[in-house]
Amino acid sequence: MKARIPYTKPSITELEVAYATDAAANGWGSRCYEYIDRFEREFASYLGVKHAIATSSCTGALHMGLAALGIGAGDEVILADCNWVASVAPVVHLGATPVFVDILPDSWCLDPERVQAAITPRTKAIIAVHLYGNVCEMDTLRHIAAENDIALIEDAAEAMGAVYHGSRAGSMGRFATFSFHGTKTMTTGEGGMFVTNDSDLYEQVLTLSNHGRARGQSRQFWPDVIGYKYKMSNIQAAIGCAQLTRIDELVGRKRDILQAYRDALQDYPLMLNPEPAGTVNGAWMPTVVFSSQSGVRTEKLQAAFAAESIDARVFFSPLSSTAMFEPCPANRIAWDIPTRAINLPSFHDMHDAELARVVAVIKHCLG
Ligand X SMILES: *Cc1c(COP(=O)(O)O)cnc(C)c1O
Phi, psi of 72 (to 5 degrees): -160, -155
Contact status: 179 vs ligand X (CB under 6 A): yes
Q: Does 347 bind ligand X (CB under 6 A)?
A: no
Q: Among 16, 76, 102, 158, indicate the residue that binds ligand X (CB under 6 A).
A: 158
Look up residue 57 and give its DSSP letter: -
Cβ proximity to ligand X, 62 vs 69, nearer residue: 62
Spatial neighbors of 235 by CB under 8 A, at least 6 apart, are: 20, 23, 24, 27, 35
Among 75, 155, 198, 275, binds ligand X (CB under 6 A): 155
Stretch that binds ligand X, among 52-60, 161-169, 224-232, 265-273 (CB under 6 A): 52-60
- Applying CB under 6 A, does 188 fall inside the site for ligand X? no
With CB under 6 A as the contact rule, the residue among 129, 138, 301, 361 that binds ligand X is 129
Rounded CA-CA distance 160/240 in Å is 13
Tell whether residue 58 is a contact of ligand X (CB under 6 A).
Answer: yes
Applying CB under 6 A, which of residues 19, 35, 39, 84 lies at the interface with ligand X?
A: 84
CB of 235 to ligand X, least distance (A): 17
DSSP string, 271-320: E-----TTEE---SS-EEEE-GGG---HHHHHHHHHHTTB--EEPPPBGG
Nearer Cβ to ligand X, position 179 or 204? Answer: 179
Interface size with ligand X, residues (CB under 6 A): 13
Site string for ligand X, 250-289 (x = CB under 6 A): ----------------------------------------
Site for ligand X in 191-250 (CB under 6 A): 192
In terms of Cα–Cα distance, which of 249, 251, 281, 253 is closest to 108?
Answer: 281
Instruction: Work out whether 86 is an interface residue with ligand X (CB under 6 A).
Output: yes
The answer to whether 87 contacts ligand X (rule: CB under 6 A) is yes
**148-62-122 Cα angle (round to 5):** 30
CB of 327 to ligand X, least distance (A): 22
Q: Quick check: 185 binds ligand X (CB under 6 A)?
A: no
Compare residues 133 and 227 and give the one whose CB is closer to ligand X. 133
Spatial distance between the Cα atoms of 174 and 35, rounded to a whole number of angstroms: 26
State the DSSP code for 325.
S
Give me the long-range contacts of 321-329 (CB less than 8 A, separation at least 24): 322/85, 324/92, 325/98, 325/100, 328/81, 328/100
The answer to whether 292 and 274 are in contact (CB under 8 A) is no
CB atoms < 10 A from the CB of 239, how many?
26
* Residue 250: exposure state from Cβ atoms within 10 A (0-12, 13-18, ≥19): buried
Assess 112 for contact with ligand X (CB under 6 A). no
Of 59 and 171, CB closest to ligand X: 59
Q: What backbone torsions phi and psi does residue 318 show, to the nearest 5 degrees?
A: -60, 130
User: Contact between 171 and ligand X (CB under 6 A)?
Assistant: no
Under the rule (CB under 6 A), what is the footprint of ligand X? 57-59, 84, 86-87, 129, 155, 157-158, 179, 181, 192
